[in-house]
Amino acid sequence: MSKSTKFQGFAASALLLTSCSMAAFAAPQTGTPADGALINQEQVLYWLIKRGEVAADATDVVKQAAVDAFIHRGNHASYKPATIEVKAEQMRIKQVEQKSTASAQYVSANNNVLADQDITKTVKVLAVLVDFPDLPHDANQLEVRDTEMYYSSYPASHYQQMLFSETGYTGPSNQTLQSAYQYYQAVSGSSFFFTGDVQDWVTADKNADYYGANDADDNDQAVPELVKEAVTKAVASMTDAELESFDVEDPYDLDNDGNYDEADGIIDHVMLFHSSIGEEVGGGVLGTDAIWSHRYYVDSTTNGYEIPGRGIKIFGYTVQPIDSAVGVCTHEFGHDLGLPDEYDTTYSGDGSPVGSWSLMSGGSWSGSPAGSQPSGFSPYAKSFLQQKYKGKWVNEQNVSLADLTSNGTAVALNHAINANAVNQLSIALPAADITFTAPLTGQYQYYSGQGDLINNAMSFDVTLPLDTPLALSFQAHWDIEDDYDYIQVMVDSVAIPGDHTITTNSIYPTVKNFISGKSSDIRTSYGDDDWVGMSFDLSSYAGRDVQISVVYKTDEAVGDYGMAIDNIQLTNQDTAFYSDGAETDGMATLAGFSRIQDSFPGKARRYIVQLRSHQGVDAGLVSDNYEPGVLLWLENLNYTDNNVSEHEGEGLIGVIDADQNLIGTQSTDIQIRDAAFSLYPQSAYYGDSYLGAESLFDDSTDYSAPLKPQAGMILPELGFTMQVTEQASNSSTATVEFALADSSILPTVTLDADITAQVTGADVNFSVVVSGGSNYTYAWSFGEANAISTDAAPSYTYSASGDYNVSVLVTDGAGNTVTATESVSVVIATTPTSTETSTETNDDSSGGSIGWLSVLMLGLLGYYRKRI
């Protein structure tokens, strides 16, 4: 297995991020992505036959091959989200963590977590309808059998009602269907208000294929241009006051004041509807020239496009087809809110173990007509939205694994649609170390870490002798996304050239002397891990006190494991005068880098329990033949996606299938129809030979589905069980009993922390040395009002001389905490004078434990890939 495969999917801690220049990380805009969750293979085949591209009497093999060829562009692994959105989400999470040692939206009493019921959120969406000179909306060439959402006409009033009606809207058969407003009211416990207005149809400047034809990378080639045209035309008749009413949020906190509910000069939410069937369901008469529904950005490198003469920008948008059902609209708006896709975005296997259990996967197609009754959110998504918006998205209760015994603990649970009672249970699990390559020599090595938008560093200070030549050398292996991500070796913050550095960066012209790509591509690499000897000339710094650092910077998405470093040496005339093989702790200052052996600390994992019924927003599960009952999910923050075709049995979020009896050779979404634990037998389903009730979860059982591994989940064996002991006949309530066979197998962790402060006038550089536990997060308080940070090694400039009490709360991946304190004396000279640097340390710390901090680290990415 290659290193790129071995470490794929692991995310680095967002808390190790430091701010970086927006210009430095602004990637060029490419074609637009495709949202694979919206693929409807039956409709794709229908349109292939109708357009004469496949014979109606062709074999099933031929038909499936044609469908696969058509939808292959649903995989787009290289898509990158807008930097500003990713960074804003990371900063928002940091601010939440800084305000509370638990979670800003939760109030804990006796371990019962209550939602912030008094907080509501209202969004206002600008919906724009656009047709094309060669495909007018009122001559769209659609027939009744072409779509389940067929109407004889599609006026603006239809979309106004479908999106924003408080009482529902009229379906194709004159039935009353749920609106998007009603959906978001239901899933948020009436705390989220999805409002807006639809502007009437405008016509694009060019024919449909100009915007929707696929470019060389198989992307729709000009959808952002269409968005700019359509919105500019649609708002032309609006007054400035009317237009400004669509700008009431500052989701990226552009003015850095922590207030997200204020105007920022950007239209908050744009939803575009075009006059064709979407490419994801066959493209209608346009075929591959149709636009594939997606969430994306306009002019992301300049943070949006300013509408001429209006003083307001367009930035993020979603795009949907003329025949959209509510499922498509709510799914794409879920991306607008920051949620990632939960399906396997490679679309190259059986699919992830989420299926119709979540809107952000196949649940967007639930109901009849298809997509008219989208299912609720996964617990990952619910926790993300609760943390971000507060309100009543979820009412969660924490259950401590360490408090469980073999006697069992009974906990009551309400179905997920009941926002007024506990509707989700969370059981934090011990973090597991992630296997990495071994050090080149000895027991330890330095590791850069991995993740999106990170700015990690390791450094050491040294006095260089006067004699030359002087050289820095070390051994390293790496796998880093070409040019988008890079490592630089610096002396006093200036990148220096070495024998394997690259001079010119094709993405960032100002970046020089950097390392990127793979060490395996270096001809002189050696060993199974492709180590490379690195050398840098330091002769020009002879006789100076310098700081040598290695800095790793990444962009918004994509990437691999980063770099491992061993055997650092400084030589003078080929004689070593400084050596660091990472064997001695404390020789280097680590800010994001870590000193590891052959593994690195894993991230938080937890079991999450939901009770799902066939009521409310989950009524559409009936159309998917999904069984009601108690769902047990595993959330694993070591992964940023659910691409189980690349990492079978493991992903960000997935259900544990109670019934491990396979349903023929069906795909995952069918296999997990009976995933719920229940006291009641299953209903009949074609090809399902086992319909018995499964009420007991036992982690000693193999839930990995060896014959269908992409449908299974690989679980830790901790002696943990869950038994459904009571369940209402309609699955509106249930009682589950948790037990742990032997609590002694759980790791006992004692944390200790010491603060170090380097004071230079008003400026203080802080660091903290922590022992015990792993996967730390930090919450600093510098002793002045609103002076806080979540960096591992922050710096702070004080406003006045004085003695300040500084503290840092350190939390490990299992929720154990320790608080260290230190008194810092700051003397600010009134006239320019030389300053002295002092170092203070502290060993005053106190330990403790808090519950799992909800989902504060991920969901950031919100980058939505195509599927094959």
Question: Which residues carry out catalysis?
Answer: 332
> Which of 92, 117, 118, 99 is CA-nearest to residue 338?
92
On whether the CB atoms of residues 729 and 712 are closer than 8 A, the answer is: no
Pairing of the two strands 269-274 and 121-131: parallel
Half-sphere exposure of 318 (CA within 13 A, CB side): 23
- Report the C-alpha gap between 58 and 444 in whole angstroms: 61
- Alpha carbon separation from 274 to 125, 200, 247, 320, 345 (Å, rounded): 16, 12, 23, 7, 24
Residue 692 amino acid letter:
G
C-alpha 262: how far from its chain's center?
A: 25
On whether the CB atoms of residues 601 and 775 are closer than 8 A, the answer is: yes
Half-sphere exposure of 225 (CA within 13 A, CB side): 15
Half-sphere exposure of 598 (CA within 13 A, CB side): 8
| Both tokens assigned to 624 | 């998917």
Count Cβ atoms within 10 A of the Cβ of residue 162 and give its class: 0-12 exposed, 13-18 middle, 19 or more buried.
buried
| Both tokens assigned to 232 | 């500019």
Residue 664 amino acid letter:
G
Task: Please list, in sequence order, all residues whose beta carbon lies within 8 angstroms of the beta carbon of residue 812, skipping any fewer than 6 positions away.
Answer: 431, 749, 751, 772, 773, 774, 775, 776
Task: Provide φ and ψ at 697, rounded to 5°.
Answer: -105, 130
- Report the C-alpha gap between 415 and 157 in whole angstroms: 35
H helices present in 72-197, as ranges: 83-99, 156-164, 180-187
Task: Provide φ and ψ at 745, rounded to 5°.
Answer: -80, -15
The angle that helices 180-187 and 156-164 make with each other, rounded to 10 degrees, is: 10
Half-sphere exposure of 81 (CA within 13 A, CB side): 27
Residues β-bridged to residue 169: 177
| Both tokens assigned to 82 | 């807008």
Task: Please list, in sequence order, all residues whose beta carbon lies within 8 angstroms of the beta carbon of residue 667, skipping any fewer than 6 positions away.
Answer: 350, 351
Count Cβ atoms within 10 A of the Cβ of residue 546 and give its class: 0-12 exposed, 13-18 middle, 19 or more buried.
middle
The angle that helices 83-99 and 379-389 make with each other, rounded to 10 degrees, is: 70
- Report the C-alpha gap between 414 and 423 in whole angstroms: 5
Cα Rg, the chain, nearest whole Å:
28
**What does the buried/exposed string (b/e) look like for 831-843 if buried means 16 or more CB atoms within 10 Å of the residue's CB?**
eeeeeeeeebebe
Under DSSP, the state recorded for 622 is G
Position of tokens 């210009």? 23
